[in-house]
């Protein structure tokens, strides 16, 4: 989300710079932005100004200049305006001193199949609710869920492999048995706060877990003691990094909402 202040020029320029930085990064290649741009344009439904609203012959007022500035910024980065004033001509902002079209939805990068809608629901704000429905075309990879493998049936299939089979035949038979009795399900995407560092820490923790379990099975008391200490320390480091990663993601989220409270105001009575 983005808020462009109507009169505080330094604050507005800072917000536009944040937009420039975002759309220039990898994240901006597939981003949908909701903006209170405090600017007018016929692209998002603003009505042409009357003659007496012009600053000079042929020169638009401040609101239209702000709208043109935002529109130019979006076009430079191949942004697509999703607003549909042809289907929803009503203003997006309805306040005590009037109404206007100042809330803009922009897609940067590939625009997925979507539906833009100005909702009639009560929002408690002078800004009306905008809903954008996206058609999910992403194909999620399907992976064997080994935790759900039916090992009883795998053992039965393994027992049916002839004893005089070659190593290759035994390997193929076991692989086929596991594949036949393991469900294939869609894999879950990693959470947004996950990182490569967490992946390495998790792998290190899993390794310590396996080593400790093996030492227990072998009755290796020295090994159990050693790998229990390793497991405890690696788990501590992993948990610390998880908390730090979640905090970084949380801080980014709240930073993006720093201007949100200024957009949500009760209508003037």
Contacts of 92 by beta carbon, 8 Å cutoff, 6+ apart:
44, 45, 100, 101, 102, 103, 118, 127, 128, 130
- 227 falls in which pLDDT band (50, 70, 90)? very high
Of 3.40.50.2300, 3.40.190.170, 3.60.10.10, 3.60.15.10, the CATH number of 2-139 is: 3.60.10.10
| Nearest residue to 1 via CA among 26, 24, 18 | 18
157-172 mean pLDDT: 90
pLDDT for residue 7 is more than 80: yes
Domain extents in the chain: 2-139, 141-188, 192-269
Contacts of 173 by beta carbon, 8 Å cutoff, 6+ apart:
157, 158, 161, 165
User: Each residue of 259-268: b (16+ CB within 10 Å) or e?
Assistant: eeeebeeeee
User: Using a CB cutoff of 8 Å and minimum separation of 24, what contacts does 131-139 make?
Assistant: 132/32, 132/82, 132/105, 134/32, 136/112, 137/112, 137/113
How far apart are the C-alpha atoms of 67 and 97, rounded to whole Å? 20
| Nearest residue to 251 via CA among 192, 189, 188, 190 | 192
Minimum mean pLDDT range among 18-22, 26-30, 238-242: 26-30
How far apart are the C-alpha atoms of 47 and 192, rounded to whole Å? 40
The whole-number pLDDT of residue 52 equals: 42
pLDDT digits (tens, 9 = 90+) for 98-128: 889 999 999 988 777 889 998 888 877 888 9
């Amino acid at each position: 989300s983005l808020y462009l202040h109507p009169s505080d020029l330094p604050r507005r320029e800072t917000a536009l710079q944040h937009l420039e930085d975002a759309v220039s990064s990898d994240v901006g290649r597939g981003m949908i932005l909701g903006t209170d741009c405090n600017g007018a344009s016929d692209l998002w439904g603003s009505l042409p100004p009357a003659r007496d609203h012009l600053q000079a012959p042929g020169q638009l007022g401040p609101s239209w200049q702000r709208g043109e500035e935002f529109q130019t910024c979006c076009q430079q980065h191949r942004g697509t305006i999703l607003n549909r004033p042809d289907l929803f001509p009503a203003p997006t902002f309805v306040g005590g001193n009037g109404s206007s079209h100042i809330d803009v939805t922009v897609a940067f990068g590939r625009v997925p199949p979507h539906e833009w809608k100005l909702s009639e629901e009560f929002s408690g704000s002078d800004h009306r609710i905008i809903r954008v429905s996206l058609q999910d075309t992403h194909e999620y990879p399907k992976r064997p869920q080994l935790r759900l493998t039916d090992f009883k049936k795998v053992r039965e299939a393994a027992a049916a492999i002839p004893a005089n089979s070659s190593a290759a035949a035994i390997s193929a038979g076991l692989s086929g048995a596991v594949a036949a009795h393991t469900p294939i399900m869609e894999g879950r995407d990693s959470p947004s706060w996950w990182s490569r560092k967490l992946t390495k820490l998790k792998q290190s923790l899993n390794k310590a877990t396996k080593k400790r379990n093996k030492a227990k099975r072998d009755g290796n008391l020295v090994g159990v003691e050693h790998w229990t200490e390793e497991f405890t320390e690696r788990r501590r480091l992993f948990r610390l990094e998880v908390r730090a990663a979640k905090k970084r993601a949380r801080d980014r989220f709240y930073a993006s909402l720093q201007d949100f409270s200024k957009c949500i105001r009760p209508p003037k009575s």
